[in-house]
Amino acid sequence: DAMVIQNPRYQVTQFGKPVTLSCSQTLNHNVMYWYQQKSSQAPKLLFHYYDKDFNNEADTPDNFQSRRPNTSFCFLDIRSPGLGDTAMYLCATSRGEGDSPTDTQYFGPGTRLTVL
């Protein structure tokens, strides 16, 4: 089945120790998104790639970066995690045909990150 896969599902890291989260998709979608979702809150968009074009949200901390080496994979790098970065990180994809924000987004299962 076509899907969005995230690895690892759970990640524990030390304060300040860099961490990388992975997302892959078999949907062949043009757009890949990264969201942060804290407990009992709405998902918050960090950035997205439209094909190779990177789009950063204005309020995304510089500590968060992303790479998309090919259509299928996208990575979230947190350079120096702080305690406040403990959250669920969600990857999503959409076709990207036409008006991007109105595309249906399909989410992966998420990576629960804990910073100690």
Partner 1 sequence: EDQVTQSPEALRLQEGESSSLNCSYTVSGLRGLFWYRQDPGKGPEFLFTLYSAGEEKEKERLKATLTKKESFLHITAPKPEDSATYLCAIPQLKLSFGAGTTVTVRA
Q: How many residues at the interface with partner 1, by CB under 8 A?
A: 24
- Establish if 39 lies at the interface with partner 1 (CB under 8 A): no
Query: Which residue, 36, 39, 38, is CA-closest to 61?
Result: 36
The residue from 27, 45, 65, 75 that contacts partner 1 (CB under 8 A) is: 45
The answer to whether residue 96 forms part of the interface with partner 1 (CB under 8 A) is: no
Query: How many CA atoms lie within 13 Å of 33's alpha carbon, on the beta-carbon side?
Result: 22
Mark the segment that binds partner 1 (CB under 8 A) among 14-22, 62-70, 78-86, 89-97.
89-97
Stretch that binds partner 1, among 11-19, 68-76, 78-86, 97-105 (CB under 8 A): 97-105
Element (DSSP H or E) covering residue 73: strand 73-78
Cβ neighbour number for residue 85 with a 10 Å cutoff? 20
